[in-house]
Amino acid sequence: MEFFRIKRDIPFMRHALAFNVVSLVTFLAAVFFLFSRGLHLSVEFTGGTLLEVTYSQPADVGAVRDTVAKLGFEDAQVQNFGSARDVLIRLPVRKGVTSAQQSNQVMAALQAVDAGATMRRAEYVGPQVGDELAADGLKALAFVVVGIMIYLAIRFEWKFAVAAIIANLHDVIIILGFFAFFQWEFSLPVLAAVLAVLGYSVNESVVIFDRIRENFRRYRKMSTVEIINNAITSTISRTIITHGSTQMMVLSMLLFGGATLHYFALALTIGILFGIYSSVFVAASIVMWLGIEREDLVKSSGAKKDTDPNDPNAGATV
């Protein structure tokens, strides 16, 4: 399915070096902010107090969040849990205040606003649990990266695998850099969004790589740069359809999903935008710099005859 077709190839690789420099500067800035400011980790990673509160009628999550914030817990997480009458509140660790004192303080404020608020349970999440979650998250990220590299190395060629992994890590580090620079809260949903971006970004790279491989088989007279430009140009319509529809859904979560989904949708938004950019100007250009050639993908015994790149029936067999 195509909304439009571009007849002349866009010379994307003509400015590959300039865009790679921009990508490198952005990447290094993200790394700098990660080390200098660090991530603003949520209660799941740092530990804290977990409260489950039940109301006699559907709870106003926004009002509950405002009440908790007035107590000085601006980083508290408030969301519905199970039903509209149940609310889950996560409070960060506060020096000099015990978990019981935090629970009593919050419940007193909530009951002052609504006497029907009842605490069903209160739990303390220790820092060791948060450390375990952080370690498991890093392991999940590493397994995804290794799995993607193995998949691409088997399906394509090692140069494509290296390019895709560099592009994907470029996207992940930049997302983390945004969260470090603005000190947005990094929670488990955000980690899930980062893992989703890894798969989403590599999907776009695979589409372009697959077209590059196909072009090498079809157009023997075209140079490597022309092959890559043609591959990117011919997939633009598909990219707009796929990423446009996905971004519409993510933006709806960002604008109307409330505080619970805000940072999750924000991470996906950044990841989708940079995923498009990295697939074209990072992954494709790195493949070019690594010196991908027709011989890397096409066996001489299976080479086809020269074809006209403007012929819509090029490469067809009878």
Residue 251: the pLDDT is 92
Residue 77: the pLDDT is 83
Q: Which residue has the higher pLDDT, 298 or 309?
A: 298
Q: Are 202 and 235 in contact (CB under 8 A)?
A: no
pLDDT at 174 over 90: yes
Q: Which tokens belong to 7?
A: 């007849």
Q: Tell me the pLDDT tens digit for each residue of 35-78.
A: 999 888 887 777 788 889 999 888 888 899 999 999 888 778 88
Q: Tell me the pLDDT tens digit for each residue of 218-270.
A: 888 889 999 999 999 988 888 888 888 899 999 999 998 887 789 999 999 99
Measured distance CA(270)–CA(284) in Å, rounded: 20
CATH assignment of 48-125?
3.30.70.3400
Residue 22: the pLDDT is 92
* Domain range annotation of the chain: 12-39+130-302, 48-125
Residue 128: the pLDDT is 65
The DSSP symbol for 117 reads -
Q: Please, which residues have CB within 8 angstroms of residue 172's CB and are 6 or more apart in sequence? A: 141, 194, 197, 198
Q: What is the mean pLDDT of residues 16-37?
A: 93
How is domain 12-39+130-302 classified at the CATH fold level?
Answer: Multidrug efflux transporter AcrB transmembrane fold (1.20.1640)
Q: Please, which residues have CB within 8 angstroms of residue 29's CB and are 6 or more apart in sequence? A: 177
Could you tell me where the DSSP H helices lie in the chain?
16-36, 43-46, 61-70, 99-113, 127-155, 158-182, 188-218, 224-234, 236-256, 258-278, 284-289, 294-297
Q: Which amino acid makes up residue 84?
A: A
Q: Tell me the pLDDT tens digit for each residue of 119-147.
A: 988 888 776 666 777 788 788 878 877 88
Residue 318: the pLDDT is 30
Q: Tell me the pLDDT tens digit for each residue of 92-106.
A: 887 778 888 888 999
The fraction of the chain above a pLDDT of 70, given in percent, is 91
Measured distance CA(11)–CA(215) in Å, rounded: 16
